[in-house]
Structure 1
Amino acid sequence: MKHISILVPFGHASLPNIDGTHQLLNDVNGCAARMGLPKVFDIQLVGISPEIIQRNGRFTIQTDCLIDQVKKTDLIIIPAIHGDLQQAIDTNAEFLPWIAKQYQNGAEVASLCIGAFLLAATGLLSGKQCATHWAEAHKFAQMFPDVHVVDDKIMTHEDRIYTSGGAYSFLNLLIYLIEKNAGREVAIMMSKLYMIDIDRYSQSPFIMFQGQKDHDDEAVQKAQQYIEDKFDDKITVEELADKFAVGRRTLERRFKKATGNTVIEYMQRVKIEAAKRSFETSRKNISEVMFDVGYTDTKAFRDVFRKITGLTPVEYRNKYNRGVVVA
């Protein structure tokens, strides 16, 4: 039987992450019993205090035990933490050495959504891949440059460390962990009971590109705005460099440092975001949308669209534009 420690951090943590994980893993035990199998998980809510007040007093979580009472655990699950993320890490700093020590003693560690920030603060993610909510991926990369953040993946698994993408994609990671520990048959049963897509691996279709503007490089900010204003034009890097009186290599270096994207990647993502909005709200065909955002090569447009969203233009339109599907 595997001992599970679900952490209950101070501050504003994700109640769905905590309660959802507790409920789903307990239901695994019930499902296993009905199938004549032994109990799979021994699950505890673990904290720094016996009572953890959440959301300014609206909720109080009673922990099962404190971290210093857990001498050995098999899997630590870190829920999402909200608000000022650095402050949330500082407030929950007592967890960090305990997580690292348990990992060194053989435990697995899983972070859910932006719980990845707390996990990364332990140093255990250094040099590894990490999934988190796509909306916080750029901030994560700034705070933890030694971690390879992958904003397109639902989950990662490397060296006994698991991370999940945004919000309710934590359910996909739980199903993965259930299959790993209880077998495929139980995982399928739980995915059906909770109506969770058992084999979904990408959060790319859900990403809304908003541009990374939280930096102080004025020339790069002007270049970003120009790209967004002229997304339907064919802009070259040389044109941008000349317009803002910056050498091409200097612009490319500063742009990558400030935004996390190359200039070309940024142009592509702005164009594809415009195309996505058009597919969601209009009845234009693929070619019309392609030309509207400045592409003339159908294959190039389709390849870039699929690379960024994980779907073809037709698949994306059919997924998000009910009017087109009905018609």
Structure 2
Amino acid sequence: MKTLTILIPEGQNNLSSVIGPYKFFLKANKHYRSLGKEEIFRVQVAGVSGDSELYGGLFSIHPHASIRDIARTDVLIIPALAHENLEEVVKQNEEAVNWVLGQYRKGAEVASICTGAFLLAATGLLEGRSCSTHWNAAAKFREMFPGVNLQTDRLITDEYGIYTNGGAFSFLNLMLYLIEKYYDRSTAIVCAKVFQVDIDRNSQSPFTIFNGQKNHSDDVVLQAQAFLEKHLDAKVNMDELAGNLSVSRRNFDRRFLKATGNTPVEYQQRVKVEMAKKSLETGRKTVNEVMYETGYSDVKAFRDLFRRITGLSPQAYRNKYNKDVVDNVY
């Protein structure tokens, strides 16, 4: 029988991403037993320093073992970390980082949940590879690990025995993905039905909230961002905007990309789509009316852009999130 280990890092403060994997794999084992098959995994929880208290002592985790006593595991799951002070949490987990790296080198496959990707990235295993994490932690991740190909639209990444996933409870889809890989499709479907999780969901784009990346000190870029956000219904000429800010277009694009992670055009598109999303979620305006409000007049162009950023068409997005939706179409 193989061993699956759920790691409890120092400063762990996310209970759901520990309980979730534990219950999913126990259920998969139980299903296999009901079919007269042998269990695939012995599931264990391993800590760095004994018991862990979460949420101010409201809950606690009592690991089965210490990582120091585990010479080898076949699969290793890193749960989500607290979103606050991610840099500090990674620093205090040097022992866990080295242990994860050592296990991978011995042949273990490693999966990170949500912000657990920060601890995984600290091993260096994600350098030059694709990775996902919670969209709300993307800016911090890029700052700390610029050599990783972060893809926050992806719900799951799978490269060289390393798996990552997006944010919050999207880890349930990663569990189904792993169960299908290690058990079979029918077992994954059983788990999906028991835990009532939509199977085969592969994007977290519909759940992303674009707040604008303003955690930087480039005053020129901040002025440009403010201008773009104020003129959502206009088609802004970026050459003119750069000139008004007394910088060349090439320098403007370079500084904007460095500060925000987007080109000026991409930033404008994302701001417009975020405005459109809010209108579609709460209002009774038609998709065409929302399109015109955000400065677009070409239905196909607007639809293609909206789908590229959110993963859904404007009408599908509206149907999904607006409870008062009316049957107004293009």
Shorter-chain TM band: over 0.9
What is the CA distance between 1:53 and its match in structure 2?
A: 2.0
The 8 Å contact of residues 12 and 52 in structure 2, kept in 1 or not, is answered as no
The aligned residue for residue 203 of structure 2 is 202
For residues 209-257 of structure 1, the C-alpha deviation after alignment (integer angstroms, 9 at most, x for no partner) is 0011111111101111111111111102112102211111001000000
What is the CA distance between 1:325 and its match in structure 2?
A: 5.0
1-side partners of 2:325 and 2:68: how far apart?
Answer: 57
2-side partners of 1:91 and 1:55: how far apart?
Answer: 19
The aligned residue for residue 93 of structure 1 is 94
The aligned residue for residue 111 of structure 2 is 110
The amino acid that maps onto 1:108 is E
The aligned residue for residue 19 of structure 1 is 19
For residues 47-105 of structure 1, the C-alpha deviation after alignment (integer angstroms, 9 at most, x for no partner) is 11221122232222111111111111011100111120011111222101111111011
2-side partners of 1:222 and 1:283: how far apart?
Answer: 33
Q: Which runs of 4+ in 1 moved over 4 A?
A: none
Pairing 1:235–2:236 present: yes
The aligned residue for residue 167 of structure 1 is 168
The 8 Å contact of residues 114 and 168 in structure 2, kept in 1 or not, is answered as yes
Question: Which runs of structure 2 are paired with 1:55-134 in the superposition (5 Å)?
Answer: 55-82=55-82, 83-134=84-135
2-side partners of 1:172 and 1:326: how far apart?
Answer: 32
The amino acid that maps onto 1:117 is F
The aligned residue for residue 226 of structure 2 is 225
The amino acid that maps onto 2:47 is G
What is the CA distance between 1:41 and its match in structure 2?
A: 1.3
1-side partners of 2:216 and 2:144: how far apart?
Answer: 13
2-side partners of 1:214 and 1:35: how far apart?
Answer: 54
3-state DSSP class of the match of 2:146? coil
What is the CA distance between 1:200 and its match in structure 2?
A: 0.3
3-state DSSP class of the match of 1:258? helix
The 8 Å contact of residues 10 and 91 in structure 1, kept in 2 or not, is answered as yes
The aligned residue for residue 322 of structure 2 is 321
1-side partners of 2:323 and 2:138: how far apart?
Answer: 30
1-side partners of 2:125 and 2:326: how far apart?
Answer: 46
For residues 161-214 of structure 1, the C-alpha deviation after alignment (integer angstroms, 9 at most, x for no partner) is 000101000000000000001101111111011111111000010001001111
For residues 297-321 of structure 1, the C-alpha deviation after alignment (integer angstroms, 9 at most, x for no partner) is 1111011000000000110010011
The amino acid that maps onto 1:39 is E
Question: Which runs of structure 2 are paired with 1:305-320 in the superposition (5 Å)?
Answer: 305-320=306-321
The aligned residue for residue 264 of structure 2 is 263
2-side partners of 1:325 and 1:117: how far apart?
Answer: 43
What is the CA distance between 1:40 and its match in structure 2?
A: 1.6
**Fraction of identical pairs, as percent:** 49
The amino acid that maps onto 1:34 is S
The aligned residue for residue 147 of structure 1 is 148
The aligned residue for residue 30 of structure 1 is 30
The 8 Å contact of residues 14 and 79 in structure 1, kept in 2 or not, is answered as yes
1-side partners of 2:94 and 2:327: how far apart?
Answer: 52
3-state DSSP class of the match of 1:76? strand
2-side partners of 1:326 and 1:131: how far apart?
Answer: 36
The amino acid that maps onto 2:23 is Q
The aligned residue for residue 293 of structure 2 is 292
The aligned residue for residue 303 of structure 2 is 302
3-state DSSP class of the match of 1:322? coil
3-state DSSP class of the match of 1:324? coil
3-state DSSP class of the match of 1:113? coil
What is the CA distance between 1:326 and its match in structure 2?
A: 8.1
3-state DSSP class of the match of 2:173? helix
The 8 Å contact of residues 14 and 54 in structure 2, kept in 1 or not, is answered as no
1-side partners of 2:148 and 2:140: how far apart?
Answer: 12
What is the CA distance between 1:324 and its match in structure 2?
A: 1.0
Gaps of 5+ in 1: none
3-state DSSP class of the match of 1:3? strand
1-side partners of 2:67 and 2:209: how far apart?
Answer: 38
For residues 9-62 of structure 1, the C-alpha deviation after alignment (integer angstroms, 9 at most, x for no partner) is 222431000011111111111111112221121111111122112223222211
